[in-house]
């Protein structure tokens, strides 16, 4: 067991982990963050996607011990104050059905929008190609993102991810 | 037509905030505290064998192991329509992956390590891995004691064979029908098995508390059916079994009935005071839950030169797996409906449910109709082409109409099949093709009709409770599952329409069998229709309570009172406006300071009282097994690379007669989702077994399901509305149907483009390229 510290959804957390424990299990079982879902445990489905310093990663393939001193963001982290414009678009466009893949897809697309505020359809498809959705046929998700990002003066679609989320955490976390 | 406020509107889903914010709780998300035990299964490595011994001694030494259970601990049979399964294998295993034992441990790691140490000694038996082989003379019997298995009265097993059920439908004069034909086409089509691939794997947690009550939290489409089967199998009273179904991460039929959920339920009864959890890995999800049944279909169709179908002989042999307690009803359903949406006077259908040493077949979106339509709609296209009649014209000419008789003799319900055909023809610009994008590609167009009826026992029912809160918001208490289709939202719309309360003020929780009223199951695309009727009745009950109270207190004529904008109003007195929130809980204060009324609580129930399964076993004539059919048409434009066989869907259109689309955007969502799921079954998905009955591709790396890159360039969803007379606001179900036409229309498009008829699914790029190569060599 080793005690590690990292910033989880803008809050510094410490937790004891085994060297072989994956981030998904630590988030869900030890830190009570349940939006990253388990779908395959081998990186195929993307339901466990989280942001690691602003980059979408599969938390079932990341060892928890590796995230020491980094920033992890889950859907809980971007929903705390109010939903992001992307999340609102998902609701308005019925861009989900069972909802199980939604947290992962929202984070994958959040990463895209941080890099490309006005993505092409091809960029959208590519950004979420590693996230499986069995219900929607993906089209309503494309529609939601296209409608949101084609608006010229759109609110920053990824607004709820702070600029800090894109960079490794600094020792002094904001607000502490 | 009446203008509705909420019905027929694109109301935003009421479960959106929960699911998009991360708040939605799924089975695996529930915390059970430090005393939770974890179960891991020991699964058969043999397709067919006698279990000679099970050695658990090494496993017991693993730190953290609490107890180990085997079949001896649970000698109980269970099953939905036919009791042919055990909770754990008893003396025999019948497929690779069948559960033999369970290790219960303090943590999942210990359970897994210990399970790997359990040694099972087998005496292998000959395995039958193919339904035609299982039907052959002298084939090994999977269930020698079949005659003793309890089953529903409309199943006809053949003891002494591997035939678990044989649905025969006979109508008219086959000999006369084929004599009348100018042309007869006979051929065989095959469909492999498929996996549902909901992204959430099965998970269930059982807890048998110290008072002797069993609670099961389960990712399920069927909480009340599960409660019933748990109570029956485990010998408990229904009041002492409680099933709580949180949000479900996709179902597609795979979470209908009971599969692995009975394991933690049974384990819990021997672990008093503990909660015990079983969560399937993706591999277990592939090898030991229901699978879509494999099919060999032999079709013989006779037609006149004018294009009238004179006779259809349709023999369908189903690879139903080692246990058919649910799958046999797939066979039954198709055996009643294998004429497709056509008017045919002379019919012979044999739908044969065959035991094989492969995992149990069961419900999968479409319930056998996808498999049946692959052959039928391929055949129809070929027959039309052979006659030199346009295939659309041929379909129009033979399309079933309201009042025509179905295969089993009941009358066809009102439907918009011809309108669907016309709208698809127009949307896809049938008869024209875009130019290929490069010299090596060719373009083909494919067409298909589809139909499907809910397959359910004649007494499958739905019910609803509805209670008002102080602010006139509503809790609608129902037991269907929102498996993603938008059920909660649509039920809220129905109540909203009757009670003039916006859907956003209506809360629908996922069910708990202790508190929610009975619902058969969320399957068969029957829930909008059946539960919708129950909800409508509950809302009408609430409205009657409200209006009669107002009538009593204010002495106003009942017929002048109505609900609008969350208030009671009066047609003859525009100034009368009594907000619901002023009295639906607290009652109405009268002049003397007393209160009249009280909390408004309402109920509704629906059972299709006209339905019966009493058809003649030899002909299926005489009953009314299906409540109604939903019909539609679809077409696509496919571009094929001649060398690689790679296919791209340029455009596809699907029209479905929803009766009344209660929420059109949700109907369109079923079309985009179902279409992609259907296209995947024909273009690349395929469960592959080795010669020993072991699944070779039990993961998403090797069993490919569509990604965002695989979406057709253009999907045109079309809604047709010919009302269902007994549906809520005219609605009927559409959820499964949207994947039904995909396979035959791809096969038809491939033939249109390359002149090659492929009669086995899937139609992969490899198969197309090889067939094209072979055709060039000839």
pLDDT score of B777: 87
Using pLDDT thresholds of 50, 70 and 90, give the confidence band for residue A176: very low
Nearest to A91 among B17, B282, B705 (CB): B17
Q: B199 and A134 in contact by Cβ < 8 A?
A: yes
CA geometry: angle B13, B417, B175, nearest 5 deg = 135
pLDDT score of B145: 97
- DSSP states of B90-138 as a string? -SEE-STT-EEEEEEESSHHHHHHHHHH-EEEEEE-----SHHHHHSTT
B650-660 pLDDT, tens digit each: 999 999 999 99
Rounded distance between C-alpha atoms, residue B421 and residue B424, angstroms: 5
A169 pLDDT more than 50: no
> Residues 276 to 295 of B: which have CB under 8 A from any A CB?
279, 281-282
Average pLDDT over residues B575-591: 98
Out of B519, B736, B751, B766, the active site residue is: B736
Comparing CA positions, the residue from B290, B279, B61, B316 lying closest to residue B167 is B316
Q: B20 and A100 in contact by Cβ < 8 A?
A: no
Domains and CATH numbers, chain B: 16-24+461-606 (3.30.365.10), 32-125+202-279 (3.90.1170.50), 294-456+613-777 (3.30.365.10)
Residues of A in contact with B19 (CB under 8 A): 96, 98-99, 102
Rounded distance between C-alpha atoms, residue A29 and residue B706, angstroms: 30
Q: Does B107 touch chain A (CB under 8 A)?
A: no
Instruction: Please list the residue range(s) of chain A that carry CATH number 3.10.20.30.
Output: 2-78+162-166
pLDDT score of A80: 83
pLDDT score of A161: 65
Using pLDDT thresholds of 50, 70 and 90, give the confidence band for residue B275: very high
Residues of A in contact with B281 (CB under 8 A): 41
A108 pLDDT more than 90: yes
Contacts of B735 (CB under 8 A, 6+ apart): B365, B485, B525, B528, B670, B674
In degrees rounded to 5, what are phi and psi of residue B719? -110, 130
Tokens matching residue B301 = 């169709």
Record: fold of A2-78+162-166: Ubiquitin-like (UB roll) (3.10.20)
pLDDT score of A174: 32
Average pLDDT over residues B134-155: 97
Q: B486 and A94 in contact by Cβ < 8 A?
A: yes
Average pLDDT over residues B686-702: 98
B302 pLDDT more than 70: yes
Comparing CA positions, the residue from B538, B539, B475, B531 lying closest to residue B735 is B531
B548 pLDDT more than 80: yes
Mutate to test the interface with B, among A30, A95, A137 (most CBs of B within 10 A): A137
Tokens matching residue B231 = 């109570």
Residue A151, min C-alpha distance to chain B (Å): 21
Q: A135 and B197 in contact by Cβ < 8 A?
A: no
* Sign of the four-CA dihedral B562, B489, B206, B360: positive
Active site residue B736: yes
Residues of B in contact with A81 (CB under 8 A): none
Alpha helix positions (H), A15-138: 23-25, 75-79, 85-92, 102-115, 121-127
B519 pLDDT more than 70: yes
Mutate to test the interface with A, among B14, B16, B108 (most CBs of A within 10 A): B16
pLDDT score of A42: 97
Residue B315: how many CB atoms within 10 A of its CB?
16
Comparing CA positions, the residue from B509, B627, B720 lying closest to residue B25 is B509
Instruction: Please list the residue range(s) of chain A that carry CATH number 1.10.150.120.
Output: 85-150
Residues of A in contact with B28 (CB under 8 A): 28, 37-38
Q: B677 and A125 in contact by Cβ < 8 A?
A: no
Q: Does B250 touch chain A (CB under 8 A)?
A: yes
Residues of A in contact with B673 (CB under 8 A): 97, 134-137
B395 pLDDT more than 70: yes
pLDDT score of B57: 98
Q: A139 and B15 in contact by Cβ < 8 A?
A: no
Check residue B421 and report its DSSP letter: H
A172 pLDDT more than 50: no
Residue A164, min C-alpha distance to chain B (Å): 21
Chain A with chain B: Cβ pairs closer than 8 A: 170
Peptide bond into B762 cis (omega under 30): yes
Q: Which helix (H) or strand (E) holds B217?
A: strand B214-218
First to last CA, chain B: 61
pLDDT score of B639: 98
* Assembly ipTM: 0.96
A158 pLDDT more than 90: no
Average pLDDT over residues B376-389: 98
Share of chain B above pLDDT 90, in %: 99
Average pLDDT over residues B24-30: 98
What value does the mean pLDDT of chain B take? Answer: 97
Record: fold of A85-150: DNA polymerase; domain 1 (1.10.150)
B208-234 pLDDT, tens digit each: 999 999 999 999 999 999 999 999 999
Residue A145, min C-alpha distance to chain B (Å): 13
Using pLDDT thresholds of 50, 70 and 90, give the confidence band for residue A168: very low
A35 pLDDT more than 80: yes
Average pLDDT over residues A39-50: 98
Rounded distance between C-alpha atoms, residue B325 and residue B31, angstroms: 33
Nearest to B709 among A98, A129, A135 (CB): A129
Nearest to A79 among B22, B201, B677 (CB): B22
Rounded distance between C-alpha atoms, residue B566 and residue A38, angstroms: 43
A154 pLDDT more than 80: no
Q: Does B683 touch chain A (CB under 8 A)?
A: no
Rounded distance between C-alpha atoms, residue B95 and residue B80, angstroms: 19
pLDDT score of A160: 64
pLDDT score of B1: 54
- Report helix, strand or coil for B776: helix
B99-135 pLDDT, tens digit each: 999 999 999 999 999 999 999 999 999 999 999 999 9
CB B195 within 8 A of CB B688: no
pLDDT score of B608: 97
Longest dimension (CA), chain B: 99
Comparing CA positions, the residue from B675, B640, B638, B637 lying closest to residue B654 is B675
Q: B672 and A103 in contact by Cβ < 8 A?
A: no
Q: Residue A145 pairs with which residues in a beta bridge?
A: none
Rounded distance between C-alpha atoms, residue B116 and residue B59, angstroms: 8
Q: A34 and B25 in contact by Cβ < 8 A?
A: yes
* Sign of the four-CA dihedral B105, B111, B117, B123: positive
B153-200 pLDDT, tens digit each: 999 999 999 999 999 999 999 999 999 999 999 999 999 999 999 999
Using pLDDT thresholds of 50, 70 and 90, give the confidence band for residue A170: very low
pLDDT score of B445: 98
In degrees rounded to 5, what are phi and psi of residue B99? -75, 130
Q: A87 and B21 in contact by Cβ < 8 A?
A: yes
Q: Which residue of B has its CA nearest to A82?
A: B21
Nearest to A39 among B199, B674, B707 (CB): B199
Rounded distance between C-alpha atoms, residue B667 and residue B683, angstroms: 24
Q: B201 and A140 in contact by Cβ < 8 A?
A: no
Q: Does B378 touch chain A (CB under 8 A)?
A: no
Q: A96 and B699 in contact by Cβ < 8 A?
A: no
Q: A97 and B677 in contact by Cβ < 8 A?
A: no
B38-51 pLDDT, tens digit each: 999 999 999 999 99
B769 pLDDT more than 80: yes
pLDDT score of B778: 77
Tokens matching residue B652 = 């596809």
């Amino acid at each position: 067991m080793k005690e590690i510290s990292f910033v989880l959804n803008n809050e510094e957390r410490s937790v004891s982990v085994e060297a072989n424990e994956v981030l998904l299990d630590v988030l869900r079982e030890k830190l009570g963050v349940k939006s990253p879902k388990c779908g395959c445990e081998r990186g195929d489905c993307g339901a466990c996607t989280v942001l690691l310093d602003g980059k979408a990663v599969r938390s079932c393939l990341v060892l928890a011990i590796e995230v020491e001193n980094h920033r992890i963001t889950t859907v809980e982290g971007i929903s705390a104050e109010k939903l992001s414009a992307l999340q609102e678009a998902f609701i308005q466009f019925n861009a989900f059905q069972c909802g199980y893949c939604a947290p992962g897809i929202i984070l994958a697309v959040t990463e895209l929008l941080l890099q490309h505020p006005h993505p092409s359809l091809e960029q959208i498809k590519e950004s979420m190609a590693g996230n499986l959705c069995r219900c929607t046929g993906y089209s309503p998700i494309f529609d939601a993102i296209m409608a949101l990002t084609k608006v010229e003066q759109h609110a920053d679609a990824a607004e709820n991810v702070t600029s800090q989320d894109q960079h490794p955490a600094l020792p002094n976390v904001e607000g502490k | 037509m009446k203008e509705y406020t909420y019905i027929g509107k694109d109301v935003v889903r009421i479960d959106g905030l929960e699911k998009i914010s991360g708040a939605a709780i799924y089975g695996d998300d529930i915390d059970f505290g430090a005393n939770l035990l974890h179960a891991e299964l020991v699964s058969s490595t043999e397709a067919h064998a006698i279990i000679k011994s099970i050695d658990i001694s090494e496993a017991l030494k693993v730190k953290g192991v609490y107890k180990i259970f085997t079949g001896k601990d649970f000698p109980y049979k269970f099953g939905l329509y036919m009791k042919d399964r055990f909770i754990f294998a008893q003396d025999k295993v019948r497929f690779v992956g069948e559960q033999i034992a369970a290790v219960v441990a303090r943590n999942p790691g210990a359970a897994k390590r210990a399970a790997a140490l359990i040694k099972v000694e087998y005496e292998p038996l000959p395995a039958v891995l193919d339904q035609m082989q299982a039907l052959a003379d002298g084939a090994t019997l999977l269930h020698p004691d079949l005659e003793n298995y309890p089953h529903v009265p409309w199943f006809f097993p053949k003891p002494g064979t591997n035939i678990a059920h044989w649905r025969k439908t006979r109508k008219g004069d086959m000999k006369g029908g084929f004599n009348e034909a100018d042309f007869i086409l006979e051929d065989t089509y095959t469909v492999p098995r498929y996996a549902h691939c909901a992204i959430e794997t099965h998970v269930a947690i059982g807890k048998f508390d110290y008072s002797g009550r069993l609670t099961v939290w389960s990712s399920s489409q069927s909480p009340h059916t599960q409660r019933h089967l748990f109570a029956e199998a485990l010998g408990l009273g229904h009041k002492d079994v409680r099933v709580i179904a949180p949000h479900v991460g996709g179902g597609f039929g795979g979470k209908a009935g009971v599969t692995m959920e009975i394991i933690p339920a049974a384990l819990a009864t021997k672990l008093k005071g503990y909660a015990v959890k079983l969560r399937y890995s993706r591999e277990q999800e592939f090898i030991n839950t229901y699978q879509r049944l494999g099919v060999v279909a032999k079709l013989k169709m006779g037609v006149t030169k004018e294009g009238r179908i004179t006779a259809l002989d349709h023999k369908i042999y189903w690879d139903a797996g080692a246990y058919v307690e649910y799958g046999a009803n797939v066979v039954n359903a198709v055996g009643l409906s294998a004429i497709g949406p056509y008017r045919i006077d002379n019919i012979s259908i044999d739908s044969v449910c065959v035991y094989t040493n492969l995992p149990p077949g069961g419900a999968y979106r479409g319930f056998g109709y996808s498999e049946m339509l692959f052959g039928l709609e391929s055949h129809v296209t070929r027959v039309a082409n052979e006659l030199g009649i346009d295939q659309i014209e041929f379909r129009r000419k033979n399309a079933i109409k309201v009042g025509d008789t179905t295969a089993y003799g009941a009358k066809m319900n009102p439907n918009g099949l011809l309108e669907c055909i016309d709208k698809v023809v127009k949307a896809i610009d049938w008869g024209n093709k875009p130019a290929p994008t490069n010299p090596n590609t060719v373009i083909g167009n494919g067409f298909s009709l589809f139909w499907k009826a809910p397959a359910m026992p004649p007494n499958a029912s739905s019910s609803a409770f509805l209670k008002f809160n102080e602010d006139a918001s509503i809790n609608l208490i129902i037991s269907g599952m929102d498996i993603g289709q938008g059920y909660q939202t649509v039920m809220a719309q129905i109540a909203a329409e009757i009670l003039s309360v916006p859907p956003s003020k209506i809360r629908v929780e996922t069910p708990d069998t202790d508190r929610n009223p009975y619902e058969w199951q969320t399957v068969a695309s029957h829930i909008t229709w059946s539960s919708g009727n129950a909800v409508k009745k509950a809302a009408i009950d609430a409205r009657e309570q409200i209006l009669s109270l107002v009538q009593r207190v204010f002495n106003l004529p009942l017929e002048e009172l109505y609900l609008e904008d969350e208030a009671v109003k009066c047609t003859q007195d525009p100034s009368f406006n009594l907000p619901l929130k002023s009295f639906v809980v607290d009652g109405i204060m009268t002049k003397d300071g007393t209160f009249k009324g009280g909390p408004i609580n309402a109920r509704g129930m629906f059972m299709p009282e006209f339905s019966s399964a009493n058809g003649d076993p030899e002909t299926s004539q005489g009953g009314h097994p299906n409540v109604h059919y939903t019909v539609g048409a679809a077409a696509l434009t496919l571009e094929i690379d001649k060398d690689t066989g790679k296919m791209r869907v340029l455009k596809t259109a699907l029209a479905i007669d929803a009766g009344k689309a209660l929420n059109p955007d949700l109907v369109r969502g079923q079309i985009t989702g179902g279409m992609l799921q259907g296209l995947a079954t024909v273009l690349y998905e395929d469960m592959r077994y080795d010669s020993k009955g072991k699944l070779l591709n039990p993961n998403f790396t090797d069993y490919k399901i569509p990604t965002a890159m695989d979406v057709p360039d253009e999907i045109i969803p079309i809604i047709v509305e010919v009302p269902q007379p007994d549906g809520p606001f005219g609605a009927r179900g559409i959820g499964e149907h949207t994947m039904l036409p995909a396979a035959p229309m791809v096969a038809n498009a491939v033939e249109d483009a390359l002149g090659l008829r492929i009669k086995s699914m899937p139609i992969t790029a490899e198969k197309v390229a090889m067939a094209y190569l072979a055709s060039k060599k000839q």
